[in-house]
């Protein structure tokens, strides 16, 4: 697949997500997918992934990683893989390439469990916001979504869930540990302080 082919595909996926996603998805929405795509490319380059084919596979995984939300909330990663295989099978990608993309998508399932650098890049891109200045509004969008979809019952359940998640989460790539981890730890400190 050429860069032009990727850009055409990206436009199609953007259109599908903006038309098809439940409007109550205040976190797992088009903005999240585009952010993950941008961060995945940045982290891949930081991690010295320069091979054009490998970069393309990372970008494809980022683009498709949450397409499963078009059809389901629970088990969306598996559904994302099915959508990706349906779209890209029979394309210029090999079975090995498709397996790598599926592996990256499945690695984003919580708790994250990446098996190689490409999967680490996607995992870190997916949760990049935990160590960024825009964490508060993005986190608030996730809280709203979790309330609507019954992941949490009441607002008071949110902070303990966040703190537990923060304490279990860690970045995998050297660049994310260096660039995002310090800010993430600041947020964890303030979450704990506000919970007292």
Torsions phi, psi for 84 (to 5 deg): -60, -45
Topology (CATH) of 3-194: Hypothetical protein af1432 (1.10.3210)
Q: How confident is the model at residue 84, as a pLDDT?
A: 96
Q: Over the stretch 114-147, which tens digit does the pLDDT of each residue have?
A: 999 999 999 999 999 999 999 999 999 999 999 9
Question: How far apart are the C-alpha atoms of 124 and 173, rounded to whole Å?
Answer: 7
pTM value > 0.85:
yes
- For residues 144 and 64, what is the distance between their CA atoms, to the nearest angstrom? 23
Q: Is the pLDDT of residue 92 over 90?
A: no
Domain residue spans in the chain?
3-194
Mean pLDDT over 191-196 rounds to 75
**What is the distance between the alpha carbons of residues 1 and 101, in angstroms, rounded to a whole number?**
14
Q: Which residues of 45-76 are buried (b: 16+ CB within 10 A; e: fewer)?
A: ebbebeeeebbbbbbbbbbbbbbbbbeebeeb
Rounded distance, CA 69 to CA 45, Å? 28
* pLDDT of 196 over the 70 cut: no
Which pLDDT does position 195 carry in this prediction? 62
Taking only the tens place, the pLDDT of each residue in 159-171 is 999 999 999 999 9
- Reported confidence tier of residue 89, pLDDT bands at 50, 70, 90: confident
| Mean pLDDT score across all residues of the chain | 94
């Amino acid at each position: 697949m050429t860069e032009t082919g990727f850009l055409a595909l990206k436009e199609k996926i953007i259109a599908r997500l903006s038309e098809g996603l439940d409007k109550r998805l205040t976190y797992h929405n088009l903005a999240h997918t585009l952010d993950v795509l941008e961060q995945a490319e940045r982290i891949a380059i930081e991690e010295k992934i320069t091979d054009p084919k490998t970069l393309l596979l990372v970008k494809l995984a980022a683009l498709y990683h949450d397409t499963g939300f078009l059809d389901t909330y629970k088990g969306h990663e598996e559904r994302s893989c099915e959508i990706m295989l349906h779209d890209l099978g029979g394309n210029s990608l090999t079975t090995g390439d498709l397996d790598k993309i599926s592996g990256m998508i499945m690695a984003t399932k919580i708790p994250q469990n990446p098996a190689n650098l490409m999967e680490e890049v996607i995992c870190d891109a997916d949760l990049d916001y935990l160590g960024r200045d825009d964490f508060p509004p993005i986190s608030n969008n996730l809280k709203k979504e979790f309330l609507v979809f019954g992941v949490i019952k009441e607002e008071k359940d949110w902070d303990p869930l966040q703190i537990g998640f923060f304490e279990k989460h860690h970045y995998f790539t050297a660049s994310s540990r260096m660039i995002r981890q310090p800010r993430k730890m600041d947020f964890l400190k303030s979450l704990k302080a506000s919970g007292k």
